[in-house]
Structure 1
Amino acid sequence: MYQKILLAVDGSENSIRATEEVIKICQESNHPIQLEVVNALQEVRNSEIVLQQVKPDDVRRDGELRIQPNEEKLRNANIPYTRTIERGDAGKMIANKANNDAFDLVVIGTRGLNGFQKLVVGSVSTEVIKRANCPVLVVK
């Protein structure tokens, strides 16, 4: 069935549920699955650095802290995975990664943590569905 799965996470409740679905898929598989966990960090704009004194390293550290619950679930289930933290537009980055690295499936929550997503429900997952060449499992 699936040999390569890309799990997009951000630590949100929907992201945790997406992780739980991936665990089920991996545990029910008759063969090993190559799992990559990806977290997309929004680029820090110069205006944010000046106005809010946001440092790029703080954004990366915050991203790593947010996805710890996802990684803890995978470790507790003994699911091997690799982790990637990328910067950029989340929807485009996840879809491009899925396409460029020939993933068989992308698993993503319906909506995440950033402020824009709270206004436009599912904007990242919708972008991934439109752009990815492989199946996308959206978990709510």
Structure 2
Amino acid sequence: MYEKILLAVDGSEHSLRATEEVIKICQGSTHPVQLEVINALQEVRNSEIVLQQVKADDVYRDGEVRIQHNEEKLRNANIPYTRTIERGEAGKMIAEKANNGLFDLVVIGTRGLNGFQKLVVGSVSTEVIKRAKCPVLVVK
């Protein structure tokens, strides 16, 4: 079974469902699972800062707030985990983390939220599928 799982979250409905699937996997495992939760925040470009009137630090803080529901689900299920919040190209960053950390599985929602709370049509999950060397479970 899976010993090391990377759960990519952003607080969206799809990422909450991905969290629920990870809980099922962990609870059904006969051995401890090392779980890492990653929230990869898209870098804020200067043009977006001007157009959207946001600050890069606000995007980071908003990312922490958005994933609280994911973390709450894990805590309520007594699933131990570590958490990482990073900035960059989300799909590329998640796949690199999975590959460099030798994860057995990546779990991600089909759609998520970018830094400005807009729907992304699966571009991050598609990028992770293309780049990750381990299996990727995409939850809708």
Q: TM-score, normalised by structure 1?
A: 0.94
Give the 3-state SS of the residue equivalent to 2:113 in structure 1.
coil
Unaligned 5+ segments in structure 1 are: none
Question: Which aligned runs of 4 or more in structure 1 are off by greater than 2 angstroms?
Answer: 47-53
Q: Deviation of residue 103 (structure 1)?
A: 0.2
Identity of aligned residues (%): 86
Aligned residues: 137
Q: In the alignment, which residue of structure 1 is the partner of 2:37?
A: 37
Q: In the alignment, which residue of structure 1 is the partner of 2:80?
A: 80
Letter in 2 for 1:53: Q
Q: Deviation of residue 47 (structure 1)?
A: 2.3
**Aligned-partner Cα distance in 1 for 2:22–2:119:** 26
Larger mean CA deviation between 108-117 and 63-72 belongs to: 108-117
Letter in 1 for 2:10: D
* 1:80-119 matches, cutoff 5 A: 80-114=80-114, 115=118, 117=120
Give the 3-state SS of the residue equivalent to 1:44 in structure 2.
coil
Give the 3-state SS of the residue equivalent to 1:72 in structure 2.
helix
Give the 3-state SS of the residue equivalent to 1:86 in structure 2.
strand
Q: Deviation of residue 87 (structure 1)?
A: 0.4
Q: Deviation of residue 17 (structure 1)?
A: 0.3
Larger mean CA deviation between 32-41 and 54-63 belongs to: 54-63
Q: TM-score, normalised by structure 2?
A: 0.94
Give the 3-state SS of the residue equivalent to 1:59 in structure 2.
helix
Q: Deviation of residue 46 (structure 1)?
A: 1.8
Unaligned 5+ segments in structure 2 are: none
Letter in 2 for 1:82: T
Larger mean CA deviation between 70-79 and 41-50 belongs to: 41-50
Q: In the alignment, which residue of structure 2 is the partner of 1:2?
A: 2
Q: Does the 8 Å contact 2:111/2:119 carry over to 1? A: no
Q: In the alignment, which residue of structure 2 is the partner of 1:28?
A: 28
Query: CA RMSD, aligned part only?
Result: 1.1
